Chains A and B, each alone.
Chain A
């Protein structure tokens, strides 16, 4: 991994610091909404099934990348590390941030006895089409292969209770 970039597990006191990065991706995002989204990811269901928000930071402590992870039970592989909501801002040097994310995910997988890493791109923090293409190509270069299909249908939720 690039020594200048280090992973940092976010907690209640540090999730705010990731907000500018998230807002950089989604300009309409409010801090309240980000906190509401992030909090459930902070606590693991049990020590054996960790989950969290992992940030990639530079030596000055500025957060340049982010992803959500969770170790899940996998029918075939026993334990799988699932990562999604990957944020790599379209800034100069984003390949370095990307490499740090890939290395961190592999380290997390090894630490938690996972034989497979599943990375999702169709997530809540939806990247722009160009970024999705870049992420997809970068995943392939990092040894990931496409597997399965995830479909989304938008439904009219008028009248339904708001989840938040």
Chain B
């Protein structure tokens, strides 16, 4: 309980909010064409802006905790987020990674089903959930667009189920890299090189592999000339077609 309170406190301490802007962030938002907001006309956009606050969260700081009352819905505009669940035995299972353009916090229940933590310095649009739900009743286009994109937490968790299904360690790592590459394209970023804002430990947690196995698989892919490790956070896909074949259709 102490830990939980401490982490909640750190959310407040690390989160900087801005509700007044001379130039509104939506006007200069790079992910707008790729997020649910793209479906809105200027009038609808203005309604959404009225209930929105921009939030910045430092790397490795929580955005919300599992079981906390779900008061806000977020749209990632910059940075990267990991979502995870705490298992009954105390272990942590990362169920997805979210990137600019992704919504999070669209939970089924009154409380968040996952915890969300910033992987890097992250900027988000924050909407009070009740006000957003009321607005969605008046804005079917946004509602439909959000449904089309699914709740990204849900989509990310479903992607993970595919990754974990009957694949070898190497196939999982390759599939993961291809998935990140595909996600980059969906969000209007180049598909290659692939950014890896998460640690190798996080990758292993997500893929159900140990840290050593992830590192071994990456080294093996490098040795085979399939990837180039540009630095800790970036991988170039040297032979994307061959990798797609290994990934088995991801």
* Chain A residues in the interface with B (C-beta under 8 A): 4, 13, 16-17, 19-21, 23-25, 27-28, 58-60, 62-64, 89-94, 96-97, 128, 131
Contact = CB atoms under 8 A, between A and B. Distances in A.
B223 interface: no
Given A17-B161, A128-B109, A24 B154 contact: yes
A92 B136 contact: yes
A23 B147 contact: no
**Residue of A27, A60, A92 with most partner-chain B CB within 10 A:** A92
Given A20-B95, A24-B107, A24-B113, A91 B161 contact: no
B155 interface: yes
Contact of A64 (B66, B142, B143, B147): B147
For the complex of A and B, the 5 pairs showing the least CB-CB separation, nearest first, are: A93-B147, A20-B157, A92-B146, A62-B150, A92-B143
B150 A96 contact: no
A25 B110 CA distance: 11
Nearest to A21: B154
Contacts of A16: 161, 164-165
Contacts of A24: 107-108, 113, 151, 153-154, 157
Given A20-B95, A58-B148, A93 B143 contact: yes
A96 B95 contact: no
Contacts of A25: 108-109
B108 A17 contact: no
Given A16-B161, A91-B106, A60 B146 contact: no
A59 B150 CA distance: 10
A96 B108 contact: no
A15 to B, nearest CB: 10
B157 A23 contact: yes
A5 to B, nearest CB: 8
